[in-house]
Every structure is written in C-alpha cells, then in structure tokens.
Chains A and B, each alone.
Chain A
C-alpha cells in the first residue's frame, strides 16, 4: 500500500497527473446510487445504475430536455449528498498527501454526461490560470471509460510545449497547435472506482465520444486552504472542508479576539 502511494505521488510529481483507486469504494457507490435514484425519480431508470448510465443515449434526450433532466437530477443529488465531502472520504489518503490537512473544496461538483457523437465538448484548455496552480482536479468516472469515452491529458512537458507553440503560432497557427495537442495527449482510461488526479496547470482535451456508450463523470477541485488562490476563490467558489487541529485552535483564538475588537 505504502509503495502504491509513493508510485502515485511520484507519477503526479513527474507528469502532473496520476490515477488512484478509491480508499473507500462504498463512497463512490453511494454517489452513483444517489444519482441513479434521482434519475429514477425523473424517468424509468431500470435497476442497474451502470447500465442506465452507459445506455443513457438510447433515451435520445437532447437540447433543453437533456439540460432540464440534468439540472433536476443535480438539484436532487445536491440536496441529498455533500459530494465534496463524500469524494474526499473516498480518496482521503491521496488527497491529504497532496494538499495537506487544511482542505478547501469546490462548492459545486460538476456532473458531465457525454453521449456518443455529442460534439458539445469543451475545447482544449487548462484550468490554471485562472484557477490557482495549487489546486488538484479529481476526474471521477461513474462508468468504465476507455478510448474516446475518457479524457486526454497533456503532461507537464507537453503542456509547456503547447503553450510555447501557441505564443508564436499567431491566429492562423493555433488550430495546428491544438491538433498536435490532441495527438500527444495521454488518453485516460479509467474504471469506476478510480479517479484521475490532475494538476490544474495541465492542458486537457475532451474528445468527442465515438464509443457506443455514454460517459458519466464527475469533476471537482481541492486545494490547501492556506495556499494561494486563483480567480476562483473562497468563499464564492471554494469552501472549507477540513481544518487541522492546529489551524482549528489558531482560528478559534483569532475569533475570540476579532469578536471583541472594537
């Protein structure tokens, strides 16, 4: 176990990303089951969460109907579950090693449904900037992801090369740089029960899903509470999730002073 964690940390340090298995798989199962139950309140979802998600495209929802469904499901999901907390519990050991004991989490967890052939995908981008480079993104597949059903990440070296190319490409050359980025990206194939941890500074590509199954995934960001912030800040975008005993003690002491400070 110790060796596995060291491998994870070394990979992350080297490339900017690494895949971790959940320390508590039941937490991820809780998330998937809750989403599935919320979907079941909105449509006939059957009795198998993975099958429902993988075959979601067969319902032929699109446009406003799909968005309404997604929003209603997310609303119900968020009322029932604190996703930031549950995901932290699922990957607690890896997260604590990366961000330390004083933890801030993104207030809302993003839920992505990527149906086969759907061309509405985010263009190649990195999160930081404008996010802080002190954040880590957890990309969490709710179904087994393979081929174009997953995402594609450029490692630190690849990201630096793309940024350098973009600086000299000019408006007409940017498309070629992006095409190259798609070619050199690492395709992330991950099963349910794992998460891809990646640094916010990495370029990433969401390919058009050309497989025969729908991808359902979550993404959420964590950071050390006391590390520098980006443009997405606390308390509007992040909230405090955990305080170390030391920080808890210090903040309580500061509170006593502040409340009486006139």
Chain B
C-alpha cells in the first residue's frame, strides 16, 4: 500500500466520451465513492484527448513517471474499448507495474494478471456487446473510418 496504513491512494481516469451525459463533476463523485469503498482516496486525475481515447496517451505518459499510488479507478470499462477490441494488453501492462485497476460504473476490480485472466470472459462479453458500437457522437467523430 502506497498511502498511509489506513488509506489507499488512487489515480482516476475520467471518460470524456461520457461527459455529455455525465459531466466531469459527477464522474468525480462516482469515482470518489468507489475509492472510499476501496478504503482510499483519489489524489490525481487524468482525462484523455477525445481523438486518442483508445491509445490513452495521457495515462501512458503519467504511468511512465511511475507515480506513487495503489491503483487506477476508471469511470467505466468502455474506456478500454474505444478501439476494435478491448485493450486487455494495456490492462496487463498496468497490472505488471504493480497497480490495481478498478471500474466505478461496473463495480469491477482487477488486482493481478491471474484476476485479469479469470475476468476475461466478462471483458470479452462486454466487448461483443459494447465494443466500438458506441452511439456517442464524439466516438463517431473521432474513432470511425470517416473521421
């Protein structure tokens, strides 16, 4: 645990594609509630450029600095599914760095590679149902072949 003996430290990642229906202020509330349930608090947040939702460059840049934290809380699983496939490989990279991964909307936590493998059927089912079929206009604007 990075935080003090009783408090975990998390970074949060907002979903800018959801901002029209769930403003950032609400996203902070939902993520903050999950952090509290996990016995921690959010110390820093990132928000991706809508043109690079799949790549998550902002988050990758931050992780390259090896920040002192216990894990990441994303607003929702969709943040890993803005490409053709859900980006399980990036989840694995984050876990390999020693960080937990949590999703506030889905109340889903992945703490290790083993848990990631166990969780894969759920992630795969999510990909089939959600994947890149999001009706979000920002998604259509930035992520489709016509962009």
Contact (A239, B88) CB under 8 Å given A226-B128, A233-B129? no
Q: Which residues of A contact B77 (CB under 8 A)?
A: 235
Selected contact of A240 from candidates B86, B117, B121, CB within 8 Å: B121
A251 touches B129 (CB 8 A): no
Taken together as a complex, chains A and B put the C-alpha atoms of A236 and B122 apart, in Å, by 11
Taken together as a complex, chains A and B put the C-alpha atoms of A187 and B117 apart, in Å, by 47
B128 touches A236 (CB 8 A): no
A235 touches B126 (CB 8 A): yes
Query: Which residue of chain B has the shortest Cβ distance to A237 in the bound complex?
Result: B106
Least Cβ–Cβ distance between B80 and chain A, in angstroms: 11
Range of interface residues on A (Cβ < 8 Å): 20 to 34
| Residue A260 lies at the interface, judged by CB distance under 8 Å to chain B | yes
- Chain B interface, >50% SS class: helix
A258 touches B88 (CB 8 A): yes
| Residue B105 lies at the interface, judged by CB distance under 8 Å to chain A | yes
A259 touches B92 (CB 8 A): yes
Query: Which residue of chain A has the shortest Cβ distance to B90 in the bound complex?
Result: A262
| Residue B64 lies at the interface, judged by CB distance under 8 Å to chain A | no
A258 touches B85 (CB 8 A): yes
Additional 8 contacts, C-beta under 8 A, given A248-B121, A251-B121, A255-B124 = A228-B129, A233-B130, A236-B105, A240-B121, A240-B125, A255-B117, A258-B86, A259-B120
A residues contacting B by CB (< 8 A) are 104, 225-226, 228-229, 233-236, 239-240, 243, 248, 251, 254-255, 258-262
B residues contacting A by CB (< 8 A) are 77, 85-86, 88-89, 92, 105-108, 116-117, 120-122, 124-126, 128-130
19 A-B contact pairs sorted by A residue (CB < 8 Å): A104-B125, A229-B129, A234-B126, A235-B106, A235-B122, A236-B106, A236-B107, A239-B122, A243-B121, A251-B124, A254-B124, A255-B88, A258-B88, A258-B89, A258-B124, A259-B116, A260-B89, A261-B85, A261-B88
